[in-house]
Amino acid sequence: MLRALADAGVRTVGQLAEPFAISLAAASKHIKALESAGLIRREVRGRTHLCRLEPGPLATANEWLRLYERFWTDRLDVLDRLLREDDARQATIAPPTPPLPTPATPKPPKTRKGDKP
């Protein structure tokens, strides 16, 4: 719904509900939750409810997420470097050894009726 509002600017509750398999009542509840979160603004014109995106809270959330994106990108870059160094170190210590074959388990001989053990 937020993406639809970002693309179109203004949508009715019916237009926002249309792409989803939900009732208008369910869509209205969802829109009320978005409105309570400050993510959208609703304007009532007669029986029509027009919804608009409120970009302020999303911009704040985006800034916060960018901070953590930089943090995790830095951490993952360090992890990648350490793993590459470890792989290089392991390659110089000894070549990888192929796995040993699993010994076959011998099958017991077949016995016939009347054979003595």
Residues 46 and 3: their CA atoms lie apart, in Å, by: 25
Backbone Cα Rg of the chain = 32
The per-residue pLDDT string of the chain (117 residues; one tens digit each, 9 = 90 and over) reads 988 998 888 999 999 999 998 888 999 999 999 999 999 999 999 988 899 999 888 888 888 899 889 888 888 999 999 999 998 888 887 666 777 777 777 677 777 676 665
Residues 29 and 25: their CA atoms lie apart, in Å, by: 6
Residues 28 and 17: their CA atoms lie apart, in Å, by: 8
Per-residue pLDDT, 117: 57
pTM equals 0.53
Q: Supply the DSSP symbol for 18.
A: T
Per-residue pLDDT, 99: 76
Residues 55 and 92: their CA atoms lie apart, in Å, by: 54
Upper half-sphere CA count for residue 92 (Cβ side, 13 Å): 5
Tokens 């304007």 belong to 43
